[in-house]
Chains A and B, each alone.
Chain A
């Protein structure tokens, strides 16, 4: 941009450069000329103020909208399921035919994995969701499927409001017996996560207490189910035992499902984090959650 000298017709010249001034795109000298004019011209200063405030207001209005959590989760799942198709690991120096062969093998394997376990159905595809949950949990211990199923059914495929509901509303949806769980869980929640949902829900004929956290599109659930027919995690091998509470964890697709017992309840921590990260969060939540649930009447 060129340097300009303001003199006669200063208002006209200032208005001409006002857009670039607001965008901070003027050369230093021109910027000084505009500033000098604005100091002595109230109408131009007022125009600048109005335009600047309008810009701020526009930004706030546009930024009030957020990407739907289920879209973030779907994209993340699709990328992870296609990760194995990437040829980023093929070392340099290998001939193109080797790459082509490897690509064929990887794509075939990727397609098999995609269609057998990882393909993410659309939000509106209810039958597809059921098939997806069944397939992805196929190799998981039955007792851990309980928590995974509700996480996927409720957190992944549920439509959220743009903003998380107020704490009071979430407490009301948890009900009098479980609303005290919310502050306990919030106090031990992993850094950067915010509670976007807390309520009672049901899936596959069982009722759950369900709290969902979100951070940068990654969803994490604490799912609590009342034990049925002598259910127990004790038949599995514990992955860790912090604070004397045995924690059990297995992977299902790209999800990690951790579980621990609390009197008449089983609590699950489910996310798409790495195994250690998910287990650490479960370890942090377990003492407070267990203490609360042990006091809850059967």
Chain B
């Protein structure tokens, strides 16, 4: 029968909609503002809906949506041309003063977001995927279409950058070091 199968709207809503919060938060943190994130998330879901016939039920829908998210962000990157590239990221890290972050419990959400916003975008993306969204290295590499070694390197440097940004915050607030480091056993 020609009209035997219904459109897959229900299936799409069941597997894709529950991840909208994760997609939105990541987009917002990478773009640095909520307004841009609205447009990106809408584009991601429209693109996902159009491509849903290519998605196999039972596979990782969340990773599939994140892959579309980064594809969409790359499109916006080309459009806006304001995303920092790796070389610039290196330079930014070189300028960052060393130090120790304050005790995490003393950091407010706003301070954490401000520090994260200063982490170069390509490193920030990996930190968000691994530390916040809890993807594996392999999954993150697939989402970003980069080798696993690149994920490891960006994660290490992203975490370091975040600690250093928070350390700068601690110094400006007069918060001291919370622990000793660098001693060999």
Contacts and interface: CB of A to CB of B under 8 A. Distances in A.
Interface of A: 9-12, 19-20, 23, 25, 37, 40-41, 43-44, 46-47, 49-51, 53-68, 71-72, 74-76, 78-80, 82-84, 86-91, 216-217
B185 A41 contact: yes
Contacts of B159: 19, 51, 55
Contacts of B178: 50
Contact of A57 (B3, B41, B104, B183): B104
Nearest to B34: A68
A91 B5 CA distance: 8
12 contacts: A9-B184, A11-B183, A57-B107, A62-B113, A65-B25, A66-B21, A66-B24, A71-B42, A86-B7, A88-B6, A88-B52, A91-B2
A37 B9 CA distance: 53
Given A23-B155, A53-B104, A80-B9, A63 B25 contact: yes
Interface of A is mostly: helix
Given A19-B152, A19-B156, A46-B179, A67 B41 contact: yes
Interface string B1-41: 11111111100110001101101110011000010001001
Interface string B41-63: 11001100100110000000000
Contacts of A11: 182-185
A46 B7 contact: no
A64 B116 CA distance: 14
Interface in B68-106: 100-101, 103-105
Interface of B: 1-9, 12-13, 17-18, 20-21, 23-25, 28-29, 34, 38, 41-42, 45-46, 49, 52-53, 100-101, 103-105, 107, 109, 112-113, 116, 127-128, 130-132, 136-137, 152, 155-156, 159, 162-163, 166, 178-185
B155 A54 contact: no
B18 A50 contact: no
B7 A89 contact: yes
Given A19-B152, A23-B155, A43 B20 contact: no
- Which of A47, A60, A71 has the most chain B CB within a 10 Å cutoff? A71
Nearest to B111: A61
Contacts of B103: 50, 53
Contacts of B4: 89, 91
A79 B12 contact: yes
Given A19-B156, A62-B132, A67-B41, A76 B13 contact: yes
A-B complex: 9 closest residue pairs judged by Cβ atoms: A41-B185, A57-B104, A67-B24, A61-B112, A86-B7, A89-B5, A83-B9, A46-B179, A11-B184
A66 B49 CA distance: 22
A38 B6 CA distance: 57
- Which of A20, A79, A90 has the most chain B CB within a 10 Å cutoff? A79
Nearest to B23: A67
Contacts of B1: 91
